[in-house]
Amino acid sequence: MKEEELIKLSAKELTDMGVCPTCLNRKYNGAVFGDDSNLKLYEDKDIECLFVANPRAVGHMMISTQTHYHDMSEAPDELNCKMIVFAKEFMLILKEVYKCERVYLCTMSDGPMNHYHLQLIPRYIDEERGSKNFVKPRKDYVFDEKSFNIIKQKIKEFASLHN
């Protein structure tokens, strides 16, 4: 199938076919997932950090590698270290900005072809603790300009000291 036809398929269909939707999305400027500029908090040559378009909680975000790896086991140690360091900083920032009680870290690069990423899922004080937070119903992303700009500025300052 030609790439022009592939970009008309869903991310799930692409993954099931062995095509990485993230790589295809980047190659065709948002053709799979749409314009994510209102979600993106940080990007450099190694990683991109953005809010999830269909979050499980307010503040749900992900950190993705720029280069395709199926999962953490394939990525170079230096890249894994960078992602974990950024994840820790984002956890602190999310707790501060959103007043959540915890931020869960997970990676689920599932399927025959997926793109390695970490997800940060906030849990709020009024929510039950436990693994159910990883499968909470998804919602539509709601842009909060004030919080977005605070988080973006804080991670920019952090990155300037750690890159």
Q: pLDDT, tens digit, for every residue of 55-77?
A: 999 999 999 999 988 889 999 99
**91 and 114 together in one domain:** yes
- 54 with 128, same domain? yes
Same domain? 52 vs 1: no
Q: How many CB atoms lie within 10 A of CB 24?
A: 20
**CATH number, position 101:** 3.30.428.10
Residue 106 and residue 77 share a domain: yes
Question: Which residue range forms the structural domain that includes residue 6?
Answer: 1-35
Instruction: Tell me, yes or no, whether 19 and 81 share the same domain.
Output: no
DSSP label at residue 134? G
Task: Identify whether residues 70 and 99 lie together within a single domain.
Answer: yes
Same structural domain, 137 and 152: yes
Is the same domain home to 153 and 122? yes
From residue 93, alpha-carbon distances to 17, 25, 83, 97, 149 in Å are 37, 28, 15, 6, 12
Mark whether 62 and 13 lie in a shared domain.
no
Q: Cβ neighbours of residue 132 under 8 Å, at least 6 residues apart?
A: none
> What are the beta bridge partners of residue 103?
122
Do 51 and 39 touch, CB atoms closer than 8 A? yes
pLDDT band at 111 (very low <50, low <70, confident <90, very high): low
pLDDT of residue 48: 93
Least confident window among 3-7, 41-45, 116-120, 121-125 = 3-7
Domain co-membership, 95 together with 148 = yes
Do 14 and 70 belong to one domain?
no
Which residue in this structure is represented by tokens 């937070």? 133
Segment 23-28 shows an average pLDDT of: 81
Q: How many domains does the chain have?
A: 2
Q: Please indicate, yes or no, whether residues 51 and 30 belong to a single structural domain of this protein.
A: no
